[in-house]
Amino acid sequence: MKANDRKDSKVSHQIPIKNVEIHQPNNNDGYKPRDQIYVRKVTGVFQQLRQKMNFFFLALFALLPWIEYNGNQAILLDISEQRFTLWSVTLWPQDLTLLAWIFILSAFLLFFVTTFLGRVWCGYLCPQTVWTFIFIWFEEKIEGTANQRKKLDSQPLNANKFWRKALKHFCWGLFSVLTALTFVGYFAPVREVFIDFFTFNASFALAATVWFFAFCTYGNAGWMREIMCLHMCPYARFQSAMFDKDTLTVSYDATRGENRGPRSRKQDPKALGLGDCIDCNLCVQVCPTGIDIRNGLQYECINCGACVDACDGVMERMNYDKGLIRYTTEHELEGKKVNILRGKLIGYALVLTVMTSLLVVEISSRVPVSLDIIRDRTELAKENFNGDIENVYTLKILNKSQNDNRYRLSVKGINNVKWHGEQEVFVKAATAYTLPISLSVDPYELDSYMTDISFVVELVSDTEEVKLEHESRFFNKR
């Protein structure tokens, strides 16, 4: 083959290049990086369900820190004292494996729910969504409907606009402060948090923490809103890895809806060559993230069902069947069989079952007392005035329960040992007791330079048996 022929053949296999015009926004073409979304109010089955769930969990969030158990705050994640109190259970740094189990279990539960029901966490339970809808509720009550809010924002500043905007931001700010105080109340005694804050006796760290979380709440729910869901939340990015064609998501039935177009109720859409979608754009107007669900599945969709309720209302007024936009699967839209029990879902369920069982076993086998042993670092062993070999220890007994207890201490693994110090101690609930003791032994009882021993802690009680052993060493003088 000649050189020119080879060159022509090479050129013929190249991918044709298409010039694409790229829009470069500037200050004069009206382009905005983000247009404000005026969410239109909608009623329906899913919005009633969402509102009831939001109210329940919001009330739970507000009330839980105030509940007491055995005279103490039932839920207190006290970071300064390094202890987490959950009703009758107190978790210490030694129990962080339990927290790790709980977090891992929660993650797999989220994976399971996402695989089955899509992004319903975002639409019904996510704090960002809940607080955003609460802030929108304030907007509706003070500034009016979506169209009224849009009209108000387009007006120049006047007395009506000023007092409405001022009242709205005051309500936002007050609700943000109350949210921050309640949140901080999970990590510090809630009564002291509220009293110290409103009496101006709070420490700098407490006040700064409250104002920081109040600012975050105000900014996220009042201003950023869908930006958090679209650009900052990692869940929106990796959720597609859990989706499949049998996952229930909010979807538009294009086969039934297209071609879309306006018409009167009396006109036959088939005679006009139209589908059921009347192109009213209500599904876009009620969407909190501002997307058009008719463009297909999008990562911005939070599965809140607002567009479903809006479309069902329109279909009902047009005397069409509901469900043009509905919770469905890709397989159902394609007319294929839906597989509810599939490998991925069964796998997540099995993992959840195994991990839940392991967590239950871990909690049930947890001993409500721990013992730390600290040896005297200056001298491993010494000879006392009786000629005995003596080792010095510091025992730290940690009462993990919610009751004041008395414990009996002993040692085994060595014969004729003498205990110098208290052998029965009283430890208050969820506190640690430090006990310095020493052990002495006749040197003729020691066969080697180092002897394995075990310290034993027993609960002094007629109704409950708690016993813990902790290994240590007894050293002889060389």
SS3 string, the chain, reads: CCHHHHHHHHHHCCCCCCCCCCCCCCCCCCCCCCCCCCCCCCCCHHHHHHHHHHHHHHHHHHHHHHCEECCEECEEEECCCCEEEECCEEECHHHHHHHHHHHHHHHHHHHHHHHHHCCHHHHHHCHHHHHHHHHHHHHHHHHCCHHHHHHHHHCCCCHHHHHHHHHHHHHHHHHHHHHHHHHHCCCCCHHHHHHHHHCCCCCHHHHHHHHHHHHHHHHHHHHHCHHHHHHHCCHHHHHHHCCCCCCCEEEECHHHHCCCCCCCCCCCCCCCCCCCCCCCCHHHHCCCCCCCHHHCCCCCCCCCCHHHHHHHHHHHHCCCCCCCEEEECHHHHCCCCCCCCCHHHHHHHHHHHHHHHHHHHHHHCCCCEEEEEEECCCCCCEECCCCCEEEEEEEEEEECCCCCEEEEEEEECCCCCEEECCCEEEECCCCEEEEEEEEEECHHHCCCCEEEEEEEEEECCCCCCCEEEEEEEEECCC
The pLDDT mean for the chain works out to: 86
- What are the pLDDT digits (tens) for 34-69? 578 899 999 999 999 999 999 999 999 999 999 988
User: pLDDT band at 12, cuts 50/70/90?
Assistant: very low
Supply the pLDDT for residue 29: 45
Which of 239-243, 398-402, 472-476 has the highest mean predicted lDDT (pLDDT)? 472-476
| pLDDT higher than threshold 50 for residue 20 | no
Pairwise pLDDT comparison (95 vs 458), residue with the higher score? 458
**Comparing 48-62, 63-77, 228-242, which segment has the lowest mean pLDDT?**
228-242
Cα 204 to Cα 81, 180, 183, distances in angstroms: 18, 15, 17
| pLDDT higher than threshold 60 for residue 17 | no
Question: Which amino acid, 314?
Answer: V
Task: Return the percentage of the chain with pLDDT > 90, whole number.
Answer: 46
CATH of domain 369-475: 2.60.40.10
Q: What is the mean pLDDT of the segment spanning 452-456? A: 92
User: pLDDT band at 173, cuts 50/70/90?
Assistant: very high
Instruction: Quickly tell me which residue has 């600012």 as its tokens.
Output: 215
199 vs 183: CA distance, rounded Å: 19
Which tokens go with 2? 């000649």
Task: Return the percentage of the chain with pLDDT > 70, whole number.
Answer: 93
Supply the pLDDT for residue 36: 84
Supply the pLDDT for residue 35: 73
Q: What is the mean pLDDT of the segment spanning 213-218? A: 96
Supply the pLDDT for residue 233: 83
Supply the pLDDT for residue 5: 53
Which tokens go with 29? 């073409």
User: pLDDT band at 27, cuts 50/70/90?
Assistant: very low
Supply the pLDDT for residue 4: 54
Using alpha carbons, select from 258, 254, 279, 282 the residue that is nearest to residue 270.
258
Cα 95 to Cα 60, 72, 397, 400, distances in angstroms: 26, 20, 15, 10
The domains of the chain are located at: 244-333, 369-475
pTM: 0.78
**Comparing 201-210, 227-236, 391-400, which segment has the lowest mean pLDDT?**
227-236
Supply the pLDDT for residue 69: 84
Cβ(469)–Cβ(456) under 8 Å?
yes
Supply the pLDDT for residue 31: 39
Cβ(34)–Cβ(40) under 8 Å?
no
Which tokens go with 374? 């600290």
Supply the pLDDT for residue 14: 52
- What are the pLDDT digits (tens) for 302-314? 889 999 999 999 9
Which tokens go with 209? 């923490």
Q: What is the mean pLDDT of the segment spanning 185-208? A: 92
| pLDDT higher than threshold 50 for residue 26 | no
